[in-house]
Amino acid sequence: MKLILKIIKIFPPEASHIIALHCLNILYKLKILNLFFPKFEKDSFEFVGLNFTNKLGTAAGLDKNGDFINCLGALGFGFIEVGTITPLPQSGNPKPRVFRLSKDSAVINRLGFNNKGVEHLVKNLQQKKYKGVVGVNIGANKNSRDQKRIDDYLICFERVADYADYITINISSPNTPELRNLHNEKNIKLLIKSVEEKSRLINYSGPIFLKISPDEPANLIKQIAGLIEESQLTGLIISNTTVKKNNLIEDKYKHYQGGLSGKPLMEQSTKSLKIIKEAFPQLPIIGVGGVMSKYDFDTKISSGASLVQIYTGFIIHGPQIIKQILSKH
């Protein structure tokens, strides 16, 4: 399996990502996936009214369109988060737009919410065989602005509500122009109010998370957490990728546009997590960003996360990271 991973990584990063997922899907459909990646003992628990088989899940971006829910679920993840999805399909930013930083154990992406649109995702959610928790991460189309951008979130929210165990509102991708402006007080209040109204209108009772940027100042993320605690929304996912690249070993990537994930994000995202947990100890938090090992996973949990998501760690180390993280020995 290590040889297969090495061969897959010969291809450009974005292509190797898709090839790897298709390989997993083939093994799943041939019913031999668990010969390569055996299942292990479940460690079930309840969080925000949902039952999870364990605390490790996939972060949004790994399976944007819900095309690989079944095979990812069969690997032993406790939950799957698909997306980010937008109302209309969009191709995203020009290629190349994903870069491997081997020396840094990191990835820079400037994908730009490339996805097949919410209707494609809904079809996959309707047909999935995986019985575990599936969250849906929603966003806005690139060309939407102001109220239209808010409307995009509401369109996605309503379409996925009947099929999502929880919904994540993504305001923190650095690759959609001005999206992070939704962090400011006026915009975030409008977004929260709009989501609350839509939730009441369609009688949605599941959890709703807001995924935030690690690049905002502490006072702003505490302000957002306070607004979430006072609202009908459930909690925060901390955090998305960072645009800060000053700590990279490979100098040539320090000025690349896009979001940085992987090992260099761990400290920054966990710092934001600790700040929020200390200020709002009762607020439900899902931790993500830089989880490359069991130690990183345990650090997120001890810092206040109830669940942890991985993306780049899975891409770099392959499916065996699941067993390594969840092993009790």
Lowest mean pLDDT across 46-60, 197-211, 249-263: 249-263
Beta strands 98-101 and 106-109 are: antiparallel
Is 50 exceeded by the pLDDT of residue 3?
no
Q: Supply the pTM of this predicted model.
A: 0.93
Residue whose entry in the numeric block shows the structure tokens 């992406």 = 109
pLDDT of the residue at 198:
96
Is 60 exceeded by the pLDDT of residue 1?
no
Mean pLDDT of 214-240: 93
Mean pLDDT of 161-170: 97
DSSP-based three-state secondary structure for 18: helix
Inter-residue contact 211 to 239 (CB < 8 Å): yes
Is 60 exceeded by the pLDDT of residue 145?
yes
Is 60 exceeded by the pLDDT of residue 4?
no
Where residue 287 falls among pLDDT bands split at 50, 70, 90?
Answer: very high
Is 80 exceeded by the pLDDT of residue 293?
yes
Mean pLDDT of 253-260: 91
Does the active-site annotation cover 173? yes
Measured CA angle at 115 (ends 62, 108), to 5 deg: 50
Beta strands 133-138 and 79-85 are: parallel
Inter-residue contact 160 to 122 (CB < 8 Å): yes
Residue 262, phi-psi category: left (phi > 0), alpha (psi -120 to 50), beta (remainder)? left
Average predicted confidence (pLDDT) for the chain: 90
Is 90 exceeded by the pLDDT of residue 22?
no
What structural domains does the chain harbor?
2-326 (3.20.20.70)
Where residue 231 falls among pLDDT bands split at 50, 70, 90?
Answer: very high
Greater model confidence, 9 or 73? 73
Residue whose entry in the numeric block shows the structure tokens 């406790």 = 78
Rounded distance between C-alpha atoms, residue 272 and residue 268, angstroms: 7
Mean pLDDT of 17-30: 87
Is 60 exceeded by the pLDDT of residue 116?
yes
Q: Provide the terminal-to-terminal Cα distance of the chain, rounded to the nearest Å.
A: 23
pLDDT tens track for 39-76: 666 778 899 999 999 999 999 999 999 999 999 999 99
User: Which one from 16, 105, 173, 199 is the annotated catalytic residue?
Assistant: 173
- What tokens does 145 get? 């602005």
Q: Phi/psi at 235 (nearest 5 deg)?
A: -175, -165
| DSSP for 108-135, written as a single string | EE---S-B--HHHHHHHHHH----SEEE
Is 50 exceeded by the pLDDT of residue 157?
yes
pLDDT of the residue at 12:
60
Beta strands 50-52 and 45-47 are: antiparallel
Rounded distance between C-alpha atoms, residue 81 and residue 103, angstroms: 28
